[in-house]
Structure 1
């Protein structure tokens, strides 16, 4: 049996996912947010869990990962996709490789396009897609090694899973929490009815504003978030 929680950061509309083995109480977090460190520690403590791994779907441009501080203060291992090239990570996981934590096994799926290092994770009937597929949307391709061509291919790869496969994205800005492959194939305006040429044209025409925190988030996340980024002076480990 497993424990699963979906957590949400209102400031950046970021989802963090908790998966744990119910028997051993070992846990992992996908895409924690630095400012939500206290919340994440409180959830782990309330459930009696020991954090073993922090997994990143990519080097984020909109928030600083909480993985650095969590690793520093819990001895969890920091895992990111091989394409990130992060020398600070404990493990760079490649396409098709698995991470096993007691009864929990996740498969890494390289899904570049939003960034070079984007990695989705499959756990049983669920895909954690980061910014590759969002609900009724997809990640941007206009910064940080973005490539609409590669993103299209990555999206198609994820859409090859059975239609009932659940999709848990890295963000949502409209109050939605979960989707599935069949739903995204049918109604996502960046997917339904678009071939690669039309998708690339649509992405190139978006003309979106620069992410507000990119100049802070990308350097910090290139160092796996560090251990003390943004910590309030005098704050204790258990805060």
Structure 2
């Protein structure tokens, strides 16, 4: 397997490139629209063909690059099937394998951050999106989120994976790149250390997080597989800045 971890600093989002070394077919997990040129450059450098994009969920903090990548290179768009998005080419279902050359990706439905959230297992790695972060987890107070549901998704689904499974999160805000299931079970201050569901629900209820500054633009754009809104306030234009300036996009 060919693997690259790529970082978008504005939203602190990790995009993951995995590819079949035999066929050169590649997929991107959680591409970000303002990193489109970077992703295409990496694919070109490695001599890979982008066949598919997969999003872990409908994002609230950035615009996915799925639609623009399809327009540029003909890649298919994979999104959770239960979202019923007309722009989707491949509806992702729990435990229904996605194959790409010699690669086999196992989707795991992990709701709680959002009701349509998925994690993806590929070999020794699991790409956990916003369900499980390094020493943390995604918030549960919008997009049909639920602390109780997220607790079960992590403790019953993700923590059931082998302890040596490498955890690659959707974001990290402190420069950390990888963890493991065993590490998160042992020390995650929200969901590890034997924390009970009641304790987790109380913790999440007390966070009092501010309203996400980009959500009202990101969610509608991402329900169209990555459309940059035309009415972005000036302070948010960087979220689609590179895309709108690209003469090829």
TM-score normalized by the length of structure 2: 0.91
Counterparts of 1:184 and 1:71, CA distance in 2: 35
2:88 is paired with a residue whose SS is: coil
Check the 8 A contact 2:125/2:165 in 1, yes or no.
Answer: yes
Partner of 2:175: 175
Unmatched runs of 5 consecutive residues or more in structure 2: 231-239
Counterparts of 1:106 and 1:46, CA distance in 2: 24
Partner of 1:160: 160
**Residue 22 of structure 1, CA deviation:** 1.3
Q: Structure 1 residues 34, 111: CA separation in 2 closer, same or farther (over 3 Å shift)?
A: same
2:244 is paired with a residue whose SS is: coil
2:189 is paired with a residue whose SS is: coil
Q: What stretches of structure 1 move > 3 A for 4+ residues in a row? A: 226-231
**Residue 84 of structure 1, CA deviation:** 2.4
1:133-144 matches, cutoff 5 A? 133-144=132-143
Counterparts of 1:219 and 1:226, CA distance in 2: 8
Unmatched runs of 5 consecutive residues or more in structure 1: none
Q: Structure 1 residues 227, 210: CA separation in 2 closer, same or farther (over 3 Å shift)?
A: closer
Aligned length: 236
Q: Residue by residue, what CA displacement relative to the aligned partner does 1:59-104 show, whole Å, maximum 9, x if unpaired?
A: 0000000111001111111001223232221111111101000101
1:138 is paired with a residue whose SS is: coil
Q: Residue by residue, what CA displacement relative to the aligned partner does 1:173-204 show, whole Å, maximum 9, x if unpaired?
A: 01100000010011110112311111111111
Q: Structure 1 residues 155, 234: CA separation in 2 closer, same or farther (over 3 Å shift)?
A: closer
Counterparts of 1:159 and 1:117, CA distance in 2: 19
Counterparts of 1:151 and 1:223, CA distance in 2: 25
Q: Structure 1 residues 76, 185: CA separation in 2 closer, same or farther (over 3 Å shift)?
A: same
Structure 2 residue 197 is matched with structure 1 residue 185: no
Q: Structure 1 residues 40, 235: CA separation in 2 closer, same or farther (over 3 Å shift)?
A: same
2:23 is paired with a residue whose SS is: coil
